[in-house]
Amino acid sequence: MAAPSLWAEGILQLLSKMNSFHMQGSSKALCKPFYVAGQQVGVVQPQLFPHLSKYPGVFQLAPSGHVELGSQLSSYEQRSAALERVLADWREQKLFRCLSGWRDEKYEVMPRFCDTPLMNMERSATSLFGVKRYGVHINGYVRRGDGGRAMWIGRRARHKQTYPGMLDNMVAGGLSVGLGVKETLVKECAEEACIPESIAATAKPVGSVSYTYEDERGVFPECQFVYDLELPADCVPEVGDGEVLEFYLWPLEQVKEAIASSEFKPNSAIVVLDFLIRHGALDADNERYYQQFTEGLHREL
């Protein structure tokens, strides 16, 4: 069998990276489930175990081996406050690299997106407990005169904590406590790209992508809700809150090449891959690894 093209090889490597927790050599087999109120909400890596034992009023090791938040913490508020105190201690002690990126931004913690949140957690700490994070990504595009499409691509600001200076979706953001998906979409469009609500609200929900990777900061199970936003030709994204350095309008072929490079933010690259598949730029006849691509876009923890 012929080897994959350089582009396809780049995409296969991208999907392996974004699903590294499922790959050989990961810490998956050594992790223990993390339970809150009798429901699994994440996973705990071995390096965290010695630190959990120092907080017996907050964490308990169950006979089956999984880690539980203390059962005496019976409400959303109690659980959130207790974990916040632990995280503040760890941050002060500089125990974990991820906490150096503390954002004072809270994410909801629940088994599934449809479930009632059990507590909240500082965004930068979610990887310590393998808690699933949710976000929204917006593919901004325009129709060209020849019937084709061009996409708006952003370049992240150089001062960003993560992936500084890399290419990105036009707009993206995590779902913070108290904000819904469409509400986050409208907010991020306004803040990052100065797109008015009247236009942002026309974005169409087109599904989601899911993946789980790990790195030196911990385990990252993530789900991104994906929207397509067709922009009028005279609606040009503008730099807003400084999260983006500049915007480019590129033909799909140029975008396709870019996502297989090391210049594109990895999770944003797979959102664009999903766009290319849904809009017919890739199919099972013109790309022999099409099935592997589609499978790699939907891997759960």
Q: Which residue, among 114, 179, 163, 196, has the nearest Cα to 265 in the 3D structure?
A: 163
Q: What pLDDT digit, counting tens, does each position of 65-104 carry?
A: 899 999 999 999 999 999 999 999 999 999 999 999 999 9
Q: Burial letters for 151-166: b for 16+ Cβ neighbours within 10 Å, e otherwise? A: bbbbbbeeebeeeeeb
| Strand, helix or coil for residue 121 | strand
16 pLDDT band (50/70/90 cuts)? very high
Cβ atoms within 10 Å of 197's Cβ, excluding its own: 12
The 10s digit of each residue's pLDDT in 167-181 is 999 999 999 999 999
Q: Residue 2 pLDDT > 80, yes or no? A: no
Looking at 4-8, 184-188, 202-206, which range is the least confident one? 4-8
Query: Looking at the predicted structure, is the pLDDT value of residue 128 above 90?
Result: yes
3-state helix, strand, coil in the chain (%, to 5): 35, 30, 40
- Measured CA to CA in angstroms, residue 114 lies from 104, 108, 110, 111, 134 at distances of 25, 12, 8, 8, 12
- Exposure of 232 by Cβ count < 10 A (0-12 exposed, 13-18 middle, 19+ buried)? exposed
CA distances from 231 to 173, 196, 259, 270 (A): 19, 11, 21, 21
The predicted-structure confidence for 213-225, as pLDDT tens digits, reads as follows 999 999 999 999 9
Cβ contacts of 284 within 8 Å, gap of 6 or more: 290, 291
- Map out the domains of the chain with their CATH numbers: 6-22+133-296 (3.90.79.10), 31-128 (3.30.750.160)
In this prediction, residue 301 has a pLDDT band, given cuts at 50, 70 and 90, of confident
pTM of the complete model: 0.94
Is residue 4 predicted with pLDDT exceeding 90?
no
| 115-133 average pLDDT score | 97
Can you tell me which residue has the tokens 């072929």? 253
Q: Report which secondary-structure segment, H or E, holds 19.
A: none
Portion of the chain with pLDDT greater than 90, in percent:
92
CA angle at 154 for the pair 164 and 274, rounded to the nearest 5°: 105
Q: What is the 3-state secondary structure (H, E, C) of 149-188?
A: EEEEEEEECCCCCCCCCCEEECEEEECCCCCCHHHHHHHH
Residues 257-285: tens digit of each pLDDT: 999 999 999 999 999 999 999 999 999 99
Q: Average pLDDT of 195-223?
A: 97
Average pLDDT of the residues of the chain: 95
pLDDT at 151 over 60: yes
Nearest CA among 101, 99, 95, 121 for reference residue 34: 121
